Amino acid sequence: MRRRGRNEPEQTEPRQLTPLGPVAGAFGYCVAAGLILTGPVFALVGESWVSGLCPGICTLPFGVGLAFAVAEWRRSATRFAVAGLAATAEIVAVDGIRGGGEDPEVAELTVRISGTGVETFEAACELRIRRPPWAVGDTFEVVVDPADRSFAVLY
């Protein structure tokens, strides 16, 4: 393994992010607030604070977790809007397909991402199955943050 020099930037692993739009973000925050407030509302409406304790203990962690997840998704969307560069992803390998049943099937792909102002790199990518199925050589549009090589698929 080659050692990095003092002034050489650290290369991070490319990662796929899922940005979230403002309307979906607002909906996510509303759901999170509902989960967080379930316990106190049951305590106020019920006969005692104990009646709100059980629902609050059950829903509070989910509400807080959802709020943090929505904040990260919105942060990704804002970052891509400011620093994102349009690029093209070409499928170089179809690594597998997982899911099915009630969940949509997801194709696990290896893609080569390139574009103007973007250093070409390969990354793991997950996309929903389509008809006809994804194949080596197919291309699709992505947005890349060249600072850390994170990317989001444009649908």
- CA angle, corner 85, sides to 83 and 90, nearest 5? 140
Picking from 33, 55, 82, the residue at the C-terminal end of a domain is 82
Counted domains in the chain:
2
Average pLDDT over residues 121-133: 88
Let me know whether 111 and 134 are in one domain: yes
Could you tell me where the beta strands, DSSP code E, fall in 18-70?
A: none
Per cent of the chain over pLDDT 90 is: 37
By residue range, what is the domain housing residue 125?
Answer: 84-153
Based on the fold, state whether residues 95 and 146 are members of the same structural domain. yes
Q: Above 50 in pLDDT, residue 1?
A: no
Picking from 130, 123, 134, the residue whose alpha carbon sits closest to that of residue 11 is 123
Residues 54 and 110 in one domain: no
Do 60 and 101 lie in one domain? The reply is: no
The token pair at 88 is 């093209």
Bridge partners (DSSP) listed for residue 86: 143
Q: Where are the beta strands (DSSP E) in the chain?
A: 85-100, 103-115, 118-128, 139-145, 150-153
Reported as a single tens digit per residue, the pLDDT across 81-119 is: 888 899 999 999 999 888 766 667 888 999 999 999 889
Q: Do 76 and 92 fall into the same domain? A: no
What is the β-pairing status of strands 139-145 and 150-153? Answer: antiparallel
How confident is the prediction for the chain on average, in pLDDT? 84
- Judged against a pLDDT cut of 50, whether residue 25 lies above it is answered with yes
Q: Is residue 15 part of a domain?
A: no
Task: Determine, yes or no, domain membership for 107.
Answer: yes
CATH number of the domain to which 94 belongs: 2.40.50
Asked, for residue 95, whether it belongs to a domain, the answer is yes
More confident residue, 53 or 23: 23
CA distance 3 to 12: 14
pTM: 0.70
pLDDT at 2: 43
C-alpha distances (whole Å) from 18 to each of 1, 8, 14, 119 are 32, 29, 13, 21
Q: 73 and 90, same structural domain?
A: no
Instruction: State residue 11's pLDDT score.
Output: 59
